[in-house]
Amino acid sequence: MSGRYDKAIVSVVVDKALYSFDNEFDYYLPQGAKVSIGQRVIVPFGKGGKKRVGLVTGFKQNADYGRLKDIYCVINDGVILGDEALRLMHWLKDNTFCTYFDAVKTILPGGMALNVSQRYAISDEFRKAPDSFALEPAEQAVSAMLLGCKSDRELNDMIEYGFDEQQKKLIGRLSEKSVLVSLDIIKQRVGSETEKNVRLTDSYLSGEYADKGGKPLTAKQKKVADFLTDADSASVKEVCYNCVVTSAVINNMEKNGIVECFDNEVSRSLTAGAKAVRSIDDIVLSDEQSAVYSGMSELMDSGKPQCALLKGVTGSGKTTVFLKLIDKALKQGKTALMLVPEISLTPQMVRNFTDLFGSNVAVIHSNLSLGQRTDEYKRIEKGEARIVIGTRSAVFAPLDNIGIIVIDEEGEHTYKSEKSPRYQARSIAKQRCFYHNATLLLASATPSLESAYFASIGRYKLFEMKKRYSQPVLPDVYLVDMKVEVETGNRSNFSRALADEIKNNLQRGEQTILLLNRRGYNTYMNCIKCGEVYKCPNCNIPLTYHKTNNCMICHYCGYTEVFTGKCKSCGSKFIYSTGTGTQRIEDEISTLFPSARVLRMDADTTMSKFSYEKNFDKFKNGEYDIMVGTQMIAKGLDFENVTLVGVLLIDKSLYAGDYLGYEKTFSLITQVVGRCGRGSKKGRAYLQTFSPEHYVLNLAADQNYDEFFRQECEIRKALLFPPYCDICEIGLSSVDEAVCKKGSDSFVKLFMKNLEGHGIPIRVLGPSACSVAKVNGKYRYRIIIKCKNNKEFRSVMQATLLDAYKSPALDKVSFFADMNGEII
């Protein structure tokens, strides 16, 4: 036994481990095997010793030797998580209540995930002499069935799908008796993109081929050989094109030992071949921009982690400042990261950057394929791209020596992940700045209340830009009382004032943007005769009618059914529909303005790859007169010929029912109003509402963020909401509502029990049903805990989660904890 104690012991985190059993496990490293921290391995896990992917997190000196297992094998793909990435993994585990491998999968692109499968083949010994094996009758029956398979694939399909549980148990015994040979197949989810290349062999180049009496080259082969002598190597396609030959010529040369073929990795990057067409030195900053650049330069030169907030009105030229600061980071020999909140903003931002920095730019967002994201990750890791632009997940890009991280429109909710790990990109960016001694710049015309608060108390350095670049003035904003419109007989979704302005814009050749944050055609349908409401059977909420495909769709779970025009309960054809979505607005525009060219931008029209870029380019080039869309058109876009913005049915977001409702409404209005009047022409914006007296709408119309911030802080301080506390939300769900309610009550009791003796000030609200009480067949409850997000509170919550997994009352309840507050 003493020999076993000489083996190296490593700590490993394991894939597919439940939160209640997630830990760093100790394993023996096999004799002669070498492994590095951050490298992947295959380990036995659980009672059955199932093969799982693991990640080595450290080496151990002391362990419980008697219970350790050996690592099966080391994956030879090198270190995939370096020191910083491992720190982020631990941080995510501690702060977002996820498993270690949830964190690993979030940090790495999905295409780098490994799939481990077990394949079987009949051994040669058994095929030659099956009667020489001592098998029991049941084993003989199974082995006979396997011998009848025509291929290994058929054999494995039979084991996987054709055998019952009893027969599957015999497979292990047949492997032990060497009837079957077990093979582990380890495959990366997405492989590298390769192309077939060709080069001359050493034998041909050295003259050995000719000395040994090799066949003389044909005229076509001689042409290929001459080309490869000059080019060294080339793809088969390039050789065929330049030498005007077919691939058969190259195949014959390979058979004769004249050339050799090999696979060459090809990048699927969108920007790898981009060329810079402008110089950053040609950009001239305004006085306000120069002041911000100078102040930020001082922070970057300090060599310490810094955080700053840039509050600049829409159109003030914040992007130009970002470009200059990123250029400064590159000239210092460092790298830079730029985050945007929406995929729709990425094409325009990428074009700005590639025009100046060429292939030095990499792009990461969810609309890229797995292969493209993997290739971009590799480019960044190799140092081929020193600027990364992307949405939330880009915050984990493997940049080294970061100089600056910029988060544009930093208050947007899209920077918060809604699935495990439930991280806030801003918090990850701070951790990375601490590690690299970098500067974090948060920027927005409407910063989050938390960021504005931290700037007001001096935690963040505050910079402001109060004027639009090149001096265009902010648009005139008008509140339209839709109650008056209805009273005077106007049943349209367009007020008379807005309709007149759209008509004027069309006559002048100017463009219009219309915002309605609901997609579909009608949002509510019911039978007049029997009162039956068309609801989602999984979520118990009204279905939205989509005229384009004549279907009713649930926007929560995706349930779809064809609209027959008849009531499902009584068969009546009298169906009442109400509520308005972007499809209906598109139809109304076509009726009111038949000659108008309308572009609709919502989740239904932007499913295909590059749809954002293509549609926005067409709008910018004047191919459309009016763009109607959801919130994806409200931020960051710059179209010089847009002089009119209309905001339709804004009241829904105003009365959303959560403490962020006012902040989201103010931000949305301010941002979309800022889309007009960005060129030389004066802009106008019309906000249609049934609550024209509401102070939030009036402050948004005046673009008065400072007063909104003051009033909102007073409300939140009185009611104790962020930034004056943190909020931990516990989400619970079950197919049985009574079980969910009982489990929620039990969770509160477990939490209060674990809280005893800590003296942590907290307030618990609930449990109560969520505003959408049922989604995808599961009833949902939530518990709101107002707290101080510190290490002590998180340890109490972690203990509660572990107890909850053991509690019989929560056995049939799914639950999670989500920290929405600022991590301290």
User: Which parts are annotated binding residues for Zn(2+)?
Assistant: 527, 530, 536, 539, 554, 557, 567, 570
Tokens matching residue 560: 């779809």
Contact 701, 477 (CB under 8 A): yes
Nearest CA-CA partner of 575 in 521, 526, 534: 526
Spatial distance between the Cα atoms of 195 and 267, rounded to a whole number of angstroms: 10
Residue keyed to tokens 């100089």: 403
Alpha-helical (H) ranges within 358-423 are 370-382
Which amino acids are annotated as binding site, given as ranges? 527, 530, 536, 539, 554, 557, 567, 570
Residue keyed to tokens 């295959």: 42
Tokens matching residue 13: 């985190």
DSSP 280: G
Tokens matching residue 295: 């102040």
Q: Which residues contact 448 (CB under 8 A, 6 or more apart)?
A: 410, 411, 663
Question: Cβ–Cβ contacts within 10 Å for residue 714, how many?
Answer: 10
Pairing of strands 763-775, 461-465: unpaired
Between the alpha carbon of residue 642 and those of residues 65, 505, 592, 822, the distances in Å are 71, 9, 20, 37
Task: Encode 652-686: b = buried (16+ Cβ within 10 Å), e = exposed.
Answer: ebbeeeebbebbbbbbbbbbbbbbbbbbebebbbb
Spatial distance between the Cα atoms of 425 and 415, rounded to a whole number of angstroms: 5
CA 267 to chain centre: 21
The CA-CA-CA angle for residues 682, 686, 691, to 5°, reads 150
Secondary structure element (H or E) that encloses residue 768, with its range: strand 763-775
Spatial distance between the Cα atoms of 122 and 512, rounded to a whole number of angstroms: 70
Q: Indicate the angle between helix axes 247-255 and 236-243, nearest 10 degrees.
A: 110
Between the alpha carbon of residue 776 and those of residues 217, 767, 772, the distances in Å are 68, 20, 11
DSSP for 679-707?
SSSPPEEEEEES-TT-HHHHHHHTT-HHH
Q: Where are the beta strands (DSSP E) in 453-578?
A: 461-465, 476-481, 511-515, 524-527, 544-546, 551-553, 560-562, 575-578
Nearest CA-CA partner of 776 in 545, 559, 614, 472: 559
Q: Lay out the sheet containing 306-312: strands in order across.
A: 361-364, 387-390, 335-339, 402-408, 439-444, 306-312, 461-465
The CA-CA-CA angle for residues 613, 615, 619, to 5°, reads 115
Q: Is 646 helix (H, G, I), strand (E, B) or coil?
A: strand
Burial class (CB in 10 A: 0-12, 13-18, 19+), 388: buried
Spatial distance between the Cα atoms of 149 and 245, rounded to a whole number of angstroms: 44
Tokens matching residue 49: 């010793």
